[in-house]
Amino acid sequence: MLSVITTLSVVALAARPAAAWGALGHEAVGYVAQEFLAPEALAFVQSSLGSTYNESLGAAATWADSIKYTKGYTWSSPLHFVDAEDSPLSGSCSVSETRDCGDGDCILTAIANYTTRVAQTSLSKAQRQEALKFLDHFLGDIGQPLHVEAYEVGGNDIDATCSGKSTNLHSAWDTGILSKNIDDNYANDVQTYASSLISKIKSGSYKSLASGWLACTSTTKPAAKRFLHLDLGPSPNADLGSASLEDDVTRLLARAASLDAGFDEWDAEADSLVGLVGAKAPAATITPLACPLVWAKESNAYGCSVVFSYTSGEDLCTSSYYTKAVPVIDLQIAKQGYRLAAWLNVIFDGDANLP
Ligand SMILES: *[C@@H]1O[C@H](CO)[C@@H](O)[C@H](O)[C@H]1NC(C)=O
Ligand SMILES: *[C@@H]1O[C@H](CO)[C@@H](O)[C@H](O)[C@H]1NC(C)=O
Ligand SMILES: [Zn+2]
């Protein structure tokens, strides 16, 4: 018994630093996405997730957190974030895939991997369900500013207070601020919260913004640069400065399809890149995707505007900090839910299918 207790507390301690948007944030992202699925994407989601997850991206969104420290899945824990080695306290925020994902194990590569895998009909039902649950989760995590920040372990090592309770900055963003908001304003019900975000997208304050969330043009320069220099497979797109979400997914899937069945696409990419750019390049880390990097940069930029702008000892859940953080969290969750729907729609219906 004692050893069971010891094991459990070790697991609990280990789990703390890399906690993600808490369950509420992930579920909200999933419920928002579910609302905007196109017919084929919806059919796949429902049959893949089945009754275990109420056929819903909302219910399935937290699975990836529940397994990341379990035997057989510990390799997945670095995939929940990218450690941007920038300087948010000096006002310098940035994300670079080569600098920050040098070992090829981060949320950017994971999104590419599971985008390819969810579409791969040669994989088993269980493997494609796993890929869907990872995408459902990682498109949420990438919207959490402290999942795109290396400073103080993404804020895990910064002590903070939320509603009088001791916590850390990362956890306040994952859980504390959001759960107070849902508790105070949405009857403590995540579906009610998600419904309010959905209404804002359909007819409220997000309506005019939503189409911009699907463009991946704001900061595509690094991506465009690598498209020009690296082998992109069958149909390199000349108009790389304006990568859209459709271009991104279509290009990735076309490339995967052109590789031999049963052949690991990431190894293949690494091999071809070593040939092209020299053996020193961290080749396997470069994904051909533009959009996830744009999403990461958007999140990371909040490190320079809102996330670290508190005064010493300020209660993050009862002060002006809370008032500034809530709209950012609402926006990021709505945006990532909408993007998740669009991403799956492109994969399964061939088009984002959204206004
Ligand atoms: C599935 O839906 C039912 C009814 O709405 C709910 O009570 C249950 O908690 C849901 N299960 C999951 C895994 O979300
Ligand atoms: C891709 O997904 C498979 C299956 O989950 C996993 O074993 C592999 O480590 C993943 N690779 C990357 C780079 O995420
Ligand atoms: Zn996570």
pLDDT in tens, 168-191: 999 999 999 999 999 999 999 999
Judge contact between 249 and 117, C-beta under 8 A. Answer: no
CA 158 to ligand 2 center in whole angstroms: 31
From the CA of 22, the nearest ligand is 3
The reply to whether 24 falls in a domain is yes
**Structure confidence at residue 242 as a pLDDT band (50, 70, 90):** low
Q: Can you tell me which atom of ligand 1 is nearest the CA of 52?
A: 13
- Residue 136: the pLDDT is 98
Q: What is the pLDDT of residues 58-85, one digit of tens each?
A: 999 999 999 999 999 999 999 999 999 9
Sequence-distant (≥ 6) Cβ neighbours of residue 289 within 8 angstroms: 108, 111, 112, 115, 223, 248, 252
pLDDT band at 269 (very low <50, low <70, confident <90, very high): low
pLDDT over 90 (residue 278): no
Assess if residue 92 is contained within a domain: yes
Instruction: Examine the pLDDT at 131 and tell me if it is beyond 80.
Output: yes
Residue 223 included in any domain: yes
Flag whether 355 is in a domain. Answer: no
Q: What is residue 223's predicted lDDT score, i.e. its pLDDT? A: 40
Phi–psi pair at 101, nearest 5 degrees: -130, 40
Ligand 2 touching residue 342 (CB < 6 A): no
Domain carrying residue 286: 2-349
Ligand with minimal distance to 77 CA: 3
Residue 222 has pLDDT above 60, yes or no: no
Please tell me the pTM assigned to this model.
0.85
Would you state the pLDDT for residue 243?
A: 72
Verify whether ligand 2 is closer than 6 Å to residue 108 (CB atom).
no
Q: How many domains does the chain have?
A: 1
CATH of the domain at 192: 1.10.575.10
Please give the number of the atom of ligand 1 that sits closest to the Cα of 53: 13
Of residues 131 and 270, more confidently modeled: 131
Has residue 171 been placed in a domain?
Answer: yes
Nearest C-alpha to atom 11 of ligand 1 is from which residue?
54
Nearest atom, ligand 2, residue 110 CA: 14
Distance of CA 85 to the CA centre of its chain: 18
Q: Using CB atoms within 10 Å of the CB of residue 105, give its burial: 0 to 12 exposed, 13 to 18 middle, 19+ buried.
A: middle
Residue 354 lies in a domain: no
pLDDT of the residue at 332: 98
Q: What is the mean pLDDT of residues 22-36?
A: 97
What does the alpha-carbon distance between residue 227 and residue 242 come to, in Å, rounded to a whole number?
12
Percent share of the chain, pLDDT over 70 = 79
Residue nearest to atom 10 of ligand 1 (CA): 54
Is the C-beta atom of 107 inside 6 A of ligand 2? no
